[in-house]
Amino acid sequence: MTKIIKPKMMDYHRQILVCIGDRCTENGSGQALYDQLKDKFKAAGLHEGALRVKKTRATCFGTCKSGPLLCIQPDGIWYYDVTSKKLDRIINEHLINNKPVLEWVYYQK
């Protein structure tokens, strides 16, 4: 019988979830946005340390319009129509300076 091993998780300050589903984005734009996160986080210093952000893909948020969509937890902020340029601003203003970019928020808990 295979022994079940408890997973380990590095500490993180926030988690960003990117919808990569094909119902709200065209031509894999959600996945393309997700693929940019590693380099963007590294450049912003969000890949390690106290401000580390965990990146996660999701296949559906159930709000299938105006993607790519992303969600930042534990803040409960949901963004729509995110482009690479918008992602840069979200990283700088929201993730680094704690000010959500309200003009692109479609839901806030």
pLDDT at 88: 98
How close are the terminal C-alpha atoms of the chain, in Å? 44
Q: pLDDT digits over 16-59, tens only? A: 999 998 887 778 899 999 999 999 999 999 999 999 999 999 99
Q: pLDDT digits over 85-104, tens only? A: 999 999 999 999 999 999 99
Domains for the chain: give ranges and CATH numbers. 14-108 (3.40.30.10)
Tell me whether strands 70-73 and 14-19 are parallel, antiparallel or unpaired: antiparallel
pLDDT at 48: 94
pLDDT at 63: 87
Beta strands in the chain (DSSP E): 14-19, 53-58, 70-73, 77-79, 105-108
